[in-house]
Amino acid sequence: MSRRYAILAPGHFASDAKTAHGVIAYSRDATVAVIDPACAGMRVRDAVAYLRSDAPIVGSVREALTFAPTALLIGTAPKGGALPAEWRAEILAAIAAGLEIVSGLHDMLGDDAEFAAAAAARGVRIWDVRKPPQTPIFSGEAYRVAAPTVLFVGNDCAVGKMTVALELAHAAERAGKRAAFVPTGQTGIMIAGWGTAIDRTIADFAPGATEALVLQAAREEPDVIFVEGQGAINHPAYAPVTLALMYGAAPDALVLVCDPTRAHIESYATPTLGYRELIRTHEALLATVKPARVVGIALNTRKLDEAGARHAIAQAREQTHLPADDVVRFGADALYAAIAPELRKGSPCVASSL
Amino acid sequence: MSRRYAILAPGHFASDAKTAHGVIAYSRDATVAVIDPACAGMRVRDAVAYLRSDAPIVGSVREALTFAPTALLIGTAPKGGALPAEWRAEILAAIAAGLEIVSGLHDMLGDDAEFAAAAAARGVRIWDVRKPPQTPIFSGEAYRVAAPTVLFVGNDCAVGKMTVALELAHAAERAGKRAAFVPTGQTGIMIAGWGTAIDRTIADFAPGATEALVLQAAREEPDVIFVEGQGAINHPAYAPVTLALMYGAAPDALVLVCDPTRAHIESYATPTLGYRELIRTHEALLATVKPARVVGIALNTRKLDEAGARHAIAQAREQTHLPADDVVRFGADALYAAIAPELRKGSPCVASSL
């Protein structure tokens, strides 16, 4: 059954509510209201220009109830994932009104005594999408998946890796292929209705949890598998998750997703890497386990005007001799067509003395 | 208060009981008996030649009680960390006898209803050394630690990274320096009495948990900090933990620990990397966040005779132009003296446009 979401993003909706934006843009579930006192009275499309939704923005859960939501979605994931104290009352109000609670925060709302008791009393489900399943150690079974697997990597967090994976999956479907999207983070999970938040798994099991997702996607016998990426290979905090996806998904090809205006890793002084250094770093690491090449570059040119975007795309092509485009701004069909011939199965490295 | 350990390692003591061997070799706590029916009747030094201990090996916890242990240590960590079912009775027998239980397994014995109830009834403590503390996201505070920090990396798991770190720390102390050893895995924690099993932390928090350990060690104002390494950078399952240590410890120098006879990653077909490829891979990754160089190579030549060991060491020196030695076989003073001049503070990369 489909949900009708009220999305809680107080103070964040117009700026950095990545989960809210992703669900509004790509989920099959409808968003009927957004809760953010900072832009109450506006519609979604007025606050965030690229979201084509007329849903109202209101100041509280109480006001959102007018629009008959069936679930409250926590629409932004603060750094570290902890729940801001001032949101508790709003979540309790939603539980009291009988809404399902859908959260991608690190702190499991279902493990919170007050929320758990309130939800149990009201017969309401709390879906902590980040809660990892029991997962095995990486086994290498992913090496035997039939479909070419594409992993999305990038120059930072929050540059659009999930969006590009979804857009290319849609483009592949339009081209007559059966494309699987593998969700590895909270927003992707909310959009697709399954998946594992790899950042929340135990470090030893993170590649195994990724492998399990690819194997699950492979059971539907798709023609191509697109794995949502996370973090960045030189992100001081999140690179281990990036590497877990690189080894655990056992990709046959990579697509590089970059915001060309990003000079340093978000919240850190660490410089972002240029295209060639990104390509070299990812390909060199994968060459030690299972080789895969970067086959295309997807730019996020949201902060540039159209001339600036075209210039950035031309520059990426010149520097790398790879297909490059902004799939949100100019559509994903051209980039998909350019990379499709490069999507072939590869093999892992094997020690000669075995 | 110091412990008197009985170490449980049924069927594994003579072969791969890495935790048991490490604790016997390096802990300040005494091992009074080992439990392994496969070599019951022998002494420790008869079963494992390089361990200089006369402790008896017996067939059961009941027999071990003769030697007045105060704690039962689970002395081997099976792949994946799960508790073999047949050990339950032995652990319950130890609890019934009033022994503290010390475990480095992934499965938390304290969370097991039967063990928890038995321990509570008998007033016995269960110390799950792998249980991670609440940890923050990596902050960059490690960049401001005054002492040079050395991280141990290697060509595979279980090649002796912890041993080399401990031996070089002892050599530094002999040379008049205050050396801190930072434990990042269950055996290191059991030996040092503090630390965090980074492999058991949540992937997003693994670098932050590593940083917290380095900051804790720095509070004692040591002259040099040696951080125990984990996994290998091309290990299909454990590389994310390796990378978490590389970025989270913010090392100023690396020491490479290799078993030169290891052709592939243990339990996988993935080929191990040669010295130059290992150096290039680690240095290239660290150059994207905080540059650090490999300053020396410690070989584990246990599987070679003395001529073979000397040949392997000469080969490592020729291929890399770096100091190389086997610190267990030939002592750690020479390698420490060779690398000491290279232990200087470095700085992280900073984006020029900040």
**Domain residue extents for chain A:** 4-128, 141-342
Q: What is the ipTM of this complex?
A: 0.82
User: What's the whole-number average pLDDT of chain B?
Assistant: 94
| Residue to substitute from A202, A264, A265, interface B, most B β-carbons within 10 A | A202
B206–A264 CB contact, under 8 Å:
no
Q: What is the pLDDT along chain A (354 residues), one digit of tens a residue?
A: 689 999 999 989 998 888 899 899 988 889 999 999 999 999 999 999 889 899 999 999 999 999 999 999 998 876 555 677 778 999 999 999 999 999 988 788 999 999 999 999 999 999 988 887 777 899 999 999 999 999 999 999 999 999 999 999 999 999 999 999 999 998 898 888 889 999 999 999 999 999 999 999 999 999 999 999 999 999 999 999 999 999 999 999 999 999 999 999 999 999 999 999 999 999 999 999 999 999 999 999 999 999 999 999 999 999 999 999 999 999 999 999 999 999 999 999 999 865
Contact B172, B148 (CB under 8 A): no
Distance separating alpha carbons of residues A229 and A312, to the nearest angstrom:
22
Contact B316, B275 (CB under 8 A): yes
Q: Which CATH class is domain B141-342?
A: alpha beta
Other C-beta atoms lying within 10 Å of the C-beta of residue A296: 25
Q: Which of B240, B269, B288 sits opposite A351 (nearest CB)?
A: B269
Asked which of A46-50, A173-177, B34-38, B166-170 is least confident by mean pLDDT, the reply is A46-50
Spatial CA neighbour of B326 closest among B157, B153, B160: B160
Other C-beta atoms lying within 10 Å of the C-beta of residue A341: 8
Q: What is the pLDDT of residue A279?
A: 98
**Crossing angle (nearest 10°) for helices A275-286 and B275-286:** 140
Confidence category of residue B54, pLDDT binned at 50, 70, 90 = very high
- Asked whether the predicted pLDDT for residue B80 surpasses 60, the reply is no
Confidence category of residue B107, pLDDT binned at 50, 70, 90 = confident
CA gyration radius for chain B? 20
**A140 has a chain B CB within 8 A of its CB:** yes
Distance separating alpha carbons of residues A342 and B245, to the nearest angstrom:
35
- Asked whether the predicted pLDDT for residue B352 surpasses 90, the reply is no
Q: Which SS3 state, helix, strand or coil, does residue A329 take? A: helix
Q: What is the pLDDT of residue B15?
A: 87
Mean pLDDT, to the nearest integer, of B222-231? 98
Distance separating alpha carbons of residues B25 and B170, to the nearest angstrom:
13
**A138 has a chain B CB within 8 A of its CB:** yes
Distance separating alpha carbons of residues B280 and A240, to the nearest angstrom:
19
CA A4 to chain centre: 21
Mean pLDDT, to the nearest integer, of B199-212? 95
**B261 has a chain A CB within 8 A of its CB:** no
**A:36-75 residues touching chain B, CB 8 A cutoff:** none
Q: Which of A137, A240, A289 sits opposite B244 (nearest CB)?
A: A240
B202–A199 CB contact, under 8 Å:
yes
Q: Which of B136, B237, B284 sits opposite A284 (nearest CB)?
A: B284
B236–A140 CB contact, under 8 Å:
yes
Distance separating alpha carbons of residues B316 and A135, to the nearest angstrom:
39
Fold (CATH) for B4-128:
Rossmann fold (3.40.50)
Q: What is the pLDDT of residue B354?
A: 59
